[in-house]
Amino acid sequence: MVPNRRAMPLRCGLVLCVLMVLWAAPILAQRRIEVTLTAAPARLSLVPGATTELFAYNGRFPGPTLEFREGDRVTVHFRNDLPEPTTIHWHGLNLPFAADGSPFHPVAPGETYDYVFTIQPGTAGTYWYHPHPHHRTGYQIAKGLYGAVIVRATDDPLRGLPEKLLVISDNRFAADGSIDLPASLTPTGIADRENGREGDVIFVNGAVMPTIAIRAGEVQRWRVINASAARVYRLALPGHKLLHVGSDGGLFERPVEVEELVVANAERVEFLVRGTGSPGDRVVLQALPYDRYIPQTRPATWNQPRELLALQYTTKSPKRAASIPAVLRHVPVLDTTQATARRLMVLTQGMINGQLMDPDRIDVAAILDATEIWEIENLVGMDHPFHLHGFQFQVLDRNGVPEPFRSWKDVVNVPKHGTARFIVRYANFPGKWMFHCHILDHEDHGMMGILDVSVPGQRSAKR
C-alpha cells in the first residue's frame, strides 16, 4: 500500500507533540517556590517576666518552618537587616555552592541575596537553616537565628501519620532577660569556648516544656532537630520504646526499635511514638545525662536529667493503632571498592590536622563524582560532632564497629578518643565546601577546613 503522503506530516506532528508533552511533563510538574526571609533584630518574650532582644527570621523564634517537596525549584529572597554580615546555610541540603550560605558568600547589612536551588530527588528528610558567617555563627544562632526545613517525598511510606516537629535548643539569660553572652576572657567565656556554650533554659519550638497531645493507640511521627550550640540530647520517653525511622538525610530502610536516642548538636532524628499508654496518662520526654565533656571542664550539673516536653494522653478511648510498614525505602549503597582516596582528619581541641581554618587554603582537593572514604580520628577527651557541607555521606563504622544499618548523614558525632569512618560521593556541584566541628564555639575559633570539589580541566570555584 502506498502511504498517504499528505497525512504523513500531520501524523509526525502529532507524535512530536506527544513526545514534547512527555518530555516537558517533569518540568511542568516542577513547583516553583518563592520564600522571603528577613533577618532583623526583634524583641520577644522568651523567659517569664522579661523581654529579650534577639535576632529573628521574619520576626519569629525559631524562624518559620519551610516545607518543600522533592523536585521543587526554590528561591529564597533573603534580606539582611542585622547590624552585621550574615548568611543562611541550608544545613544538610544538597545544593549549588553559591546557595550554601557558607562564609564564602557573606551578605552585608542592608543587602539582599537570592538562594536558588532544586530539592534533589531522594532527599526527603528533616533539615534546618542557620547563619554561617565567619567567626559569628555561634553568636547569631545564640541570638535566635535558626529554623526547620522539611522535605517531603511524593511516595512517603509514613504518609498519614500525625507529625510533630521538635526544634530543640538551649540558651542562657541574664536576670534582665538579655541573652547571656560573656566576653571571651571571662571564666564563663573560657568555659563556653572549651565545652561549647550551653544554657539552662531548653526550648522546644521556642517554648519551655510544651505539651504534645496523643490519643491512646495513636502512632505519631516525631522529627527532632538539635539546634543547640553544643548540648547533646539523649532522648528517652519513660514507658515507651521509640521506633527510630530516620536520620539527617531521611528515612532508613527499616524501622529500628530503641530505648533511647542520642542526638548530637546539628543532627536530626525521626522516630515513631506509639501511644501505648492509657487515656489521661502524662509522660515527660527526657534528656538523660550524656558525658561528652573533658573532666576538667565538665559542668557540675551534667549528670542531671532534663525535662523537654510533656506527652499528654487525651481521655478519649484508645484508637486502633496504625500499621507501620516493615520497609520504608531503599537507601542506595555507596560502594567502598569505588573509593579513590582516603582522607584522614585528626581532631584535637580546636584544630583539624593541627591547623586552624584558613579561607585561602584548600585542605582537601577532590574531583567531581569521586567517591572517597574519610576517617575522623578524635585524639582528645571530648566528643566533636563532625559536619560536611554539600554532600550526604554514609557512616561505615564507629570505633571500628560497623554501622548496623545504612543511612544518609551530614553530621557524625566522633566520641572522645574515638574514630568514625564515612563514605561520600561528590555526585554533583563543584565548589568549596566546609567541613567542621559543629560545636559552634569550636567552629568559630577555626576548627574547620575546606574541601574543594572541582571539574577536571576547570578552575576551582571562586570565593
Q: Which residues bind Cu ion (CB under 5 A)?
A: 384, 437, 439, 442
Minimum distance from residue 445 beta carbon to Cu ion (Å): 9
Residues 6+ positions from 131 with CB-CB distance below 8 Å: 39, 86, 87, 88, 89, 101, 137, 140, 141, 145
16 vs 344, beta carbon nearer Cu ion: 344
Please compute, for residue 162, the number of CA atoms within 13 A of its CA located in the half-sphere on the CB side: 13
Q: Which of 138, 143, 140 is nearest to 54 (CA)?
A: 143
Neighbours of 437 (CB within 10 A): 31
Minimum distance from residue 383 beta carbon to Cu ion (Å): 8
d(CA 90, CA 56): 16
148 vs 382, beta carbon nearer Cu ion: 382
Minimum distance from residue 388 beta carbon to Cu ion (Å): 14
CA distances from 409 to 91, 233, 266, 390, 453 (A): 11, 17, 11, 11, 19
35 vs 379, beta carbon nearer Cu ion: 379
Q: Which helix (H) or strand (E) holds 15?
A: helix 7-29
Minimum distance from residue 447 beta carbon to Cu ion (Å): 5
d(CA 23, CA 114): 29
d(CA 274, CA 289): 24
Specify whether the CB–CB gap between 447 and 436 falls below 8 A: yes
Phi, psi at 144, each rounded to 5°: 120, 5
Minimum distance from residue 274 beta carbon to Cu ion (Å): 35
230 vs 451, beta carbon nearer Cu ion: 230
Minimum distance from residue 349 beta carbon to Cu ion (Å): 8
Minimum distance from residue 431 beta carbon to Cu ion (Å): 24
Q: Which of 361, 386, 362 is nearest to 375 (CA)?
A: 386
308 vs 440, beta carbon nearer Cu ion: 440
Minimum distance from residue 230 beta carbon to Cu ion (Å): 8
Minimum distance from residue 154 beta carbon to Cu ion (Å): 38
Phi, psi at 267, each rounded to 5°: -80, 160
384 vs 421, beta carbon nearer Cu ion: 384
Minimum distance from residue 256 beta carbon to Cu ion (Å): 27
CA distances from 363 to 263, 322, 411, 435, 441 (A): 28, 49, 19, 10, 21
Minimum distance from residue 440 beta carbon to Cu ion (Å): 9
Three-class SS string for 266-327? CCEEEEEEECCCCCCCEEEEEEECCCCCCHHHCCCCCCCCEEEEEEEECCCCCCCCCCCCCC
Give the full edge-to-edge strand order of the sheet including 364-367. Answer: 364-367, 448-454, 431-437, 384-388, 411-414
96 vs 446, beta carbon nearer Cu ion: 446
190 vs 258, beta carbon nearer Cu ion: 190
197 vs 442, beta carbon nearer Cu ion: 442
296 vs 337, beta carbon nearer Cu ion: 296
d(CA 206, CA 56): 12
Q: Which of 329, 386, 275, 268 is nearest to 122 (CA)?
A: 329
93 vs 440, beta carbon nearer Cu ion: 440
Q: Which of 286, 288, 258, 290 is nearest to 272 (CA)?
A: 258
Residue 177, Cβ density class (10 Å: 0-12 exposed, 13-18 middle, ≥19 buried): middle
Q: Which residue is nearest to Cu ion (CB)?
A: 437
136 vs 442, beta carbon nearer Cu ion: 442
Beta bridge partners of 385: 413
Minimum distance from residue 442 beta carbon to Cu ion (Å): 3
